[in-house]
Structure 1
Amino acid sequence: MSDMLLIINPGSTSTKIGVFEGERELFQETLRHSSEEIEKYETIFDQIDFRKDIIINILKEKNFDLKTLSAVVGRGGMLKPMESGTYKVNDTMIEDLKIGIQGQHASNLGGILANKIAGELNIPSFIVDPVVVDELEEVARISGVPELPRVSKFHALNQKAVAKRYSKESGVKYSDLNLIVVHMGGGVSVGAHRNGRVIDVNNALDGEGPFSPERAGTVPVGELIRMCYSGKHSEKEIYGKIVGKGGYVAYLNTNDARDVLKLAEEGNKKAILCLDAFIYQVSKSVGEMSTVLHGKIDGIILTGGIAYSEKVVSELKKRIGWIGEIIVYPGEDELLALAQGALRVLTGEEEAREYK
């Protein structure tokens, strides 16, 4: 019998869980939380028992025996910069997740919830490839302003998962490949993977790189500074223009790429221009990363929800197909990616890393 895993992926107003037997998903549930429920809690950490009880209750409703679990895996949060891999949750990690050492985010609850449930069962708890995975080369950190080094915050979980999937399917070790991975979802991250490490990538969390459904992307810095000091906007409002209310939201009042595609198909000129600009900017970022890899590209992987769009994929192929072979893995199966990370440790393929 394969290892049985409980996977926990917390969002701001939901908690997605899944139960896996090996890589086979037995079931998954998205547990929705109303704004009234969430607003009762002063901090994200205060939500722990509330979310844990909901998880346990739904498992009981499904008559699932928690004692059959081999491990519990949580989505990694805003921890210190770290190497890619699967990490066993320890006290140092729990403390950093509690205080939000790099910011408060619902994903910080993943490791804490996993540890709390696993601790009661006397089994291990893990996190896998959080957004703060940092494998940048030193030259990639230089921004031009010493006080503002470039940082690595991106869709590490999905980028690593699809890179390893391609490695397995192509029969070439991940550590022997040069790949460009393009994650296209609410945010966009374009990573240069060389020999198993993401040596350069845009800070997708803070909106750097191509614009996206709800990120502004890299914007004109001078104009941004003048906007900040105009006296018309608070810091929160400015950040909202970059993250959350930028991109498609700002131009078309929707963060759903499907809406933009539909409007474009109907002939909406603004939607057509925004879609073209999105493809244009993503293509430029791929070209940029191709220079990081000296033009030696084994494959360009398109992934994330927007990769389901035949229109976007076909237009990207026209612009970047000359750089390398295009591979499309649409969507982002985060629950499976988390399960696979834990299985690599439980089966002895990898060693669990220690968070310090």
Structure 2
Amino acid sequence: MAYRILAINPGSTSTKIAIFEDENQIFIKTIRHSAEEISSYPNIASQFAYRKDLILSELKNAGIDIATIDAIVGRGGVIKPIESGIYEVNAAMLHDLEHPVMGEHASNLGGLISHNIAAELGDKVKAYIADPVVVDEMDPIARISGHPAIQRLSIFHALNQKAIARTYAQEAGRKYEDLNLIVAHMGGGISVSAHQKGRVIDTNNALDGEGAFSPERSGSLPTGALVNLCFSGQYTKEEIKKMLCGKGGVVAYLGSNDMLEVERKAETDPEWAKIQDAMSYQVSKEIGAMATVLKGQVDAILLTGGIAYGKPVTDYITARVGFIAPVKVYPGEDEMRALAMNGLRILKGETQAKKYV
């Protein structure tokens, strides 16, 4: 008999839900939330009942009996830094999801809604989160920034990076925990990470835009020039933060964060081609840096995320880093499958849920 898992992934303007029976996806739905609907709530936490009701309504309309669910896995929120893994939602996590210490994010609703639905189904169904963006396995030396007032943080695309790394390991007939990999997730934000024997020992803070610039993030800017900009009197603190994350990177140069448009126009417009290549160049530099973290012992370099659909980008990066290790491209990001497969690993007894404290 197949296990049935419900995956819940709340975003800022949508809530994605999916049902899997073992490895097979049998239902998926993206529920869109208009700006008017979202703006009627004072904060993200107050959207809880609204989003939960929509989820249950969509499942009912699809003819899915919620009582047939064996486990629920929600998108992990911005909670305290934790090791990679699958965590059962408990009282301590609920508190931190409801009272976030690192800022509000819609993904915090994933654990809250999952727990609430599971509680209504009784003791047989448990709620989990898996590999939230705050996964922190960095080596102590990687945390040192260059000034004691600032510490480097691990905030990256943990869910997709870990899922892609495990996918590659399975294809290679090896265990993720036996491999050294460099994984570059390229989407609205870009994170490049060194995976050493199943642990991400170094990565860039993709939330704040550290590392390579991306479609809408400025990346690591020259510090002196950034300080001068901050104190020029021309911009507010919020405007500067938006320049770094939201209105930086490709969109700042070209007025577009659509990499399909960039790829298309780059074929005939040298300016668009230059910016596309510059982003690819910076990703390549980050990969090279992570190769030194792994002391050159790299089994493979994995390129993933939505931008990995773009052949000019992946070809450019491969040409620059292919001497380090074989490059494998996994375009897109299937977060719903990644969530569900983590739940399936628990149900099959392949791993145990960790305790959040």
Q: TM-score if structure 1 supplies the norm length?
A: 0.99
Partner of 2:348: 347
AA partner of residue 51 (structure 2): R
Partner of 2:329: 328
AA partner of residue 327 (structure 1): K
Partner of 2:113: 113
Spell out, residue by residue over 1:184-216, the C-alpha distance to the aligned partner (whole angstroms, 9 max, x if none).
Answer: 111110000001000000001110000010110
Q: Which residues in structure 2 correspond to 1:1-356 (within 5 Å)?
A: 1-122=1-122, 123-265=125-267, 267-356=268-357
AA partner of residue 353 (structure 1): K
Let me know the Cα RMSD of the aligned residues.
Answer: 0.8
Deviation at 1:95, TM superposition (A): 0.9
Deviation at 1:227, TM superposition (A): 1.3
Deviation at 1:137, TM superposition (A): 0.1
Distance 1:340 1:234 in 2: 44
AA partner of residue 329 (structure 1): Y
- Please state whether the residue corresponding to 1:246 is helix, strand or coil: coil
Deviation at 1:293, TM superposition (A): 0.5
Distance 2:216 2:185 in 1: 14
Deviation at 1:269, TM superposition (A): 2.2
Distance 1:84 1:2 in 2: 26
AA partner of residue 44 (structure 1): I
Unaligned 5+ residue runs, structure 2? none
AA partner of residue 192 (structure 2): V
Spell out, residue by residue over 1:55-111, the C-alpha distance to the aligned partner (whole angstroms, 9 max, x if none).
Answer: 111111111100000011100010100000000001111110111121101111110
Distance 1:297 1:102 in 2: 33
Distance 1:96 1:287 in 2: 36
Spell out, residue by residue over 1:203-257, the C-alpha distance to the aligned partner (whole angstroms, 9 max, x if none).
Answer: 0111000001011000011111111112221111111000011111101111111
Identity rate, percent: 54
Distance 1:154 1:264 in 2: 28
- Please state whether the residue corresponding to 2:342 is helix, strand or coil: helix
Deviation at 1:159, TM superposition (A): 0.5
- Please state whether the residue corresponding to 2:146 is helix, strand or coil: coil
- Please state whether the residue corresponding to 1:80 is helix, strand or coil: coil
- Please state whether the residue corresponding to 1:225 is helix, strand or coil: helix
Distance 2:42 2:251 in 1: 28
Equivalences, count: 355
Distance 2:90 2:202 in 1: 29
Deviation at 1:36, TM superposition (A): 0.7
Q: TM-score if structure 2 supplies the norm length?
A: 0.98
Distance 1:283 1:130 in 2: 25
- Please state whether the residue corresponding to 1:144 is helix, strand or coil: strand
AA partner of residue 50 (structure 1): Y
Distance 1:133 1:352 in 2: 15
Deviation at 1:20, TM superposition (A): 0.7
Deviation at 1:118, TM superposition (A): 1.0
Give structure 1 regions of 4+ aligned residues with deviation exceeding 4 angstroms: none
AA partner of residue 103 (structure 1): G
